[in-house]
């Protein structure tokens, strides 16, 4: 008998939990607000903090790139909405970037607690986390960072591109793609699961349609 999943923070492969959130763009319903689109929810320890400010500036600089990937952004901390609004105003005034995406004001900590984002040292800060959610509202990746280390935004963009290519072409994505040291920007074919597939892979390699280190490690152009 299948074991029922206990309540707790969502995991990769789970549906993003339904919730109503108060944001700088008003009240939103998640994940319905981003139905049929990818979205990235990222939490930060607090407004008006140095590392978080560099991150929000960076996310906004890449906002158009995320939009081109049909991906929305939404931030979160347990600060109040007026703090978010003032901080966003400060970033625009001092750094020249208007924060266009919503920021969840989770003053009660209810949302952060549901997502497992409350810092272990106390309930006064949320951890630096990232949830990548696909158009079917399935959580595809969860990333955590310590307070002293800001996120690599290029990697988050790369992950969205990799997920979308994997879903579209039924392939896997190698390390450091699209600049992998072994196969460049090629993509990896799923491992063969039967003798017939092994035979087909060998024939495809002979025809120059794919390249293989062995039948279980084959790759091709995207």
**Catalytic residue ranges:** 52
CB atoms within 10 A of CB 12: 11
For residue 108, what are the contacts with CB-CB under 8 A and spacing of at least 6? Answer: 78
Query: Do 171 and 186 touch, CB atoms closer than 8 A?
Result: no
Cross-sheet strand order for the sheet of 139-145: 26-30, 19-23, 103-105, 71-77, 38-43, 128-133, 139-145
CB atoms within 10 A of CB 181: 8
CA-CA distance, 35 to 69, in Å (whole number)? 15
CA-CA distance, 147 to 112, in Å (whole number)? 16
Query: Do 84 and 52 touch, CB atoms closer than 8 A?
Result: no
CA 30 to chain centre: 15
């Amino acid at each position: 008998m299948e074991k029922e999943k206990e309540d707790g923070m969502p995991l990769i492969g789970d549906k993003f939990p339904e919730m109503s959130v108060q944001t700088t763009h008003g009240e939103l319903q998640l994940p319905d607000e981003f139905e049929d689109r990818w979205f990235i929810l990222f939490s930060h320890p607090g407004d008006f903090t140095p590392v978080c400010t560099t991150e929000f500036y960076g996310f906004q600089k890449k906002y158009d790139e995320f939009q081109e990937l049909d991906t929305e952004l939404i931030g979160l901390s347990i600060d109040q909405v007026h703090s978010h609004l003032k901080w966003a105003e400060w970033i625009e005034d001092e750094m020249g970037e208007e924060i266009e995406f919503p920021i969840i004001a989770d003053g009660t900590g209810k949302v952060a607690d549901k997502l497992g984002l409350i810092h272990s040292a106390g309930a006064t800060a949320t951890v630096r986390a990232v949830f990548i959610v696909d158009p079917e509202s399935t959580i595809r990746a969860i990333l955590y960072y310590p307070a002293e280390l800001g996120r690599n935004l290029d990697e988050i963009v790369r992950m969205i591109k990799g997920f979308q290519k994997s879903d579209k072409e039924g392939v896997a994505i190698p390390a450091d793609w699209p600049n992998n040291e072994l196969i460049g920007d090629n993509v990896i074919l799923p491992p063969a699961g039967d003798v017939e597939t092994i035979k087909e892979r060998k024939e495809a390699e002979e025809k120059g349609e794919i390249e293989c280190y062995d039948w279980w490690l084959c790759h091709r152009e995207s």
